[in-house]
Amino acid sequence: MAHYNVAVLAGDGIGPEVTEAARHVLDAAVDRLDGFTLSYDALSVGAGEYLENGDPLPESTVEKLKTYHAILLGAMGLPDVRWPNGVEMTPQVDIREKLDLYQGVRPIKLYHPWHSPLRVPKGKDIDFVLVRENCEGLFSDRLVPRDGQADFATDTMKVTRAGAERICRAAFEIAKGRRQKVTLVDKANVLQSMAFFRAVFDEVAEEYPDIETDRVYVDAMALFLVQDPYQFDVIVTENMFGDILSDQAAGIVGGMGMAPSADIGDNYAVFQPSHGTAPTIAGQGKANPIATILSAALMLRWLDREQGEAGAQLIENAVAKALKNYDNRTVDLGGSHSTSDITDIIISHL
Ligand code: ATP
């Protein structure tokens, strides 16, 4: 009997709605598995927690998170809740750094050709994984205190050998189980940090002679994601480029509501949709829960290679079957289904 404890951080905005939907699907999937159970504990983190207790991510909560098998997260932060220096609170980013969740794994898959704003040629598929470095890169200085009086501000693109090596290796490992191709995205023609990242990528690539590699500048990648996204299998890049490109990648498969993610480290992992709190639609039943439901499937796969893997496949197949019917769409995809309508339809296909 395998039993796993999951911490649920619903967060702010649409976070509570989408995590509730994912829990319904998880419960229904787990019911169909053999000797596999989940239990959940809700923990308060985010802008709401800051307004109540003065800290969006209390240290005691971070310590508690380490006692769970996995963490399911909704979305965090609200545009009006900011630190005195003007930046938004981002506990979902802080968690990645505190738990050293260096792999931002973001599967991008087109479930119905009409979900894409692109004219997808017959026989072509959008199906790749973007692997974002989560703990350094251009985000690395974001918490360094600044002199509010200075008349300039800088952010450092930090690339360490250890950081670059482990994220490149993670990308190659993912490619082994897929179509055996890794594309590095950088700006090695201009930035020395990126030339270094490329040199480390090249070294790691030598450990994987069977895997095809490609190197693309980030500006060209913005173009290729629109012109020819079908060519990609696994894409690996630094933190900020990954942040931007994962939104663009979500855009070509139907939007943020379709993009799941897993933030994985050597000891802990957080599963959450790639989207934010979407405050303008919060509380209206309009949120698309599919990104969170697919993130929950990634969680099952990460938790357990046998029954967990079976559960992940159940959920992914149910989503695919539900979305084959173009009528099954939430508002963001141009449909009229509510969050709970689409959740029930997915459960009916399990
Ligand atoms: P963050 O800065 O936290 O990444 P953001 O401000 O970039 O967040 P999101 O909250 O991701 O933005 O939302 C971007 C757009 O996508 C908004 O128009 C939002 O309403 C829409 N959106 C995001 N997630 C969903 C969802 N699950 N269902 C429907 N629409 C969504």
297-320: per-residue pLDDT in tens?
999 999 999 999 999 999 999 999
Q: Specify the residue with its C-alpha closest to ligand 1, atom 2.
A: 276
Q: Do the bridges between strand 70-75 and strand 181-186 make them parallel or antiparallel, or are there none, so unpaired?
A: unpaired
Residue 273's φ and ψ, nearest 5 degrees, are: -65, 155
| CATH number of 1-92+269-350, picked from 3.40.718.10, 2.120.10.30, 2.40.170.20, 3.10.20.30 | 3.40.718.10
Q: Is this model's pTM higher than 0.75 or not? A: yes
Helical H segments across 11-151, by residue range: 15-31, 47-53, 59-65, 91-98
State pLDDT tens for residues 257-276: 999 999 999 999 999 999 99
Q: What share of the chain is helix, strand, coil (3-state, %, to 5)?
A: 45, 20, 40
Residues of the chain within CATH 3.40.718.10 domain(s) are: 1-92+269-350, 117-145+152-252
- In tens, the pLDDT along 22-37 reads 999 999 999 999 999 9
Q: How far is CA 226 from CA 12, 83, 118, 271, 300, in A?
A: 31, 36, 7, 27, 31
Q: In a structure prediction context, what are the per-residue pLDDT tens digits for the chain, which is 350 residues long?
A: 899 999 999 999 999 999 999 999 999 999 999 999 999 999 999 999 999 999 999 999 999 999 999 999 999 999 899 988 788 888 988 999 899 999 999 999 999 999 999 999 999 999 999 999 999 999 998 888 888 788 998 999 999 999 999 999 999 999 999 999 999 999 999 999 999 999 999 999 999 999 999 999 999 999 999 999 999 999 999 999 999 999 999 999 999 999 999 999 999 999 999 999 999 999 999 999 999 999 999 999 999 999 999 999 999 999 999 999 999 999 999 999 999 999 999 999 99
Among 78, 275, 331, 337, the mutation site with the greatest number of ligand 1 atoms within 8 A of its Cβ is 275
Q: Which residue has the least CA distance to atom 16 on ligand 1?
A: 256
Separation of CA 256 and ligand 1 centre (Å): 6
Architecture of domain 117-145+152-252: 3-Layer(aba) Sandwich (3.40)
Ligand 1 lined by 287 (C-beta under 6 Å) = yes
